Amino acid sequence: MLRRYTTLIVAIVALLGVGSATIGDTIVMQHPRVIERVNLMRSSKLALEVLGAMASGREMFNRKRANAARRALMRNTGKIASKFRRNPYDPASRARQHIWTQWADFKAQSKTARAASKGLSTRNVVTLRQTLPPMINACLSCHQTFRKRP
Ligand code: HEC
């Protein structure tokens, strides 16, 4: 069971991937607003990785660290809508135009993500394992609809 869980978390965190603005890549985001929203996403990825490592047993559970990661995710998911409201042109961005033509849906997905972050329980590793999948699903679900594949 733990092993299956580990595989799930590792696969899912890997799926979130890195974007096009990585070092060594030719395409780099340039618009400051796009850089800002991508940095917001990267910060969420880091927080999620901390929780994933603890949930899978790759790292010892640490309540303080887990709680800090949860708070970062709450903060970040609460900022998604405002960071995406404008639609500046940046050819390196992987944001799909659907975001702005289906804004209500995009906003709803960011709310779901925020709710999932609030729902994370960092009481112990068992409750963390129980509450992490909805968080991961919320990230992936929005990406599936609103982010271009590399
Ligand atoms: C409401 C929609 C939405 C939610 C929820 C969401 N994302 Fe994103 N994410 C996006 C979009 C859109 C992009 C592409 C942004 C761009 O390229 O301009 C993105 C990009 C990313 C990237 C790539 C950044 C880069 O380097 O290019 C990562 C990593 C990421 N998100 C992680 C996460 C994590 C982790 C979560 C959950 C905690 C999450 N996202 C939740 C919409 C979302």
Helices and strands, counts by H and E, the chain? 7, 0
**How many C-alpha atoms does 28 have within 13 Å on its Cβ side?**
7
Which atom, in ligand 1's list, is nearest to the CA of 22? Answer: 26
Burial class (CB in 10 A: 0-12, 13-18, 19+), 132: buried
pLDDT, tens only, 49-100: 999 999 999 999 999 999 999 999 999 999 999 999 999 999 999 999 999 9
Ligand 1, pocket residues at CB < 6 Å: 16, 18-21, 34, 37-38, 41-42, 44-45, 48, 73, 80, 93-95, 106, 109-110, 113, 138-139, 142-143, 146-147
Phi and psi at 54, nearest 5°, equal -70, -45
pLDDT, tens only, 118-145: 999 999 999 999 999 999 999 999 999 9
Any idea which fold 2-17+25-146 has?
A: Four Helix Bundle (Hemerythrin (Met), subunit A) (1.20.120)
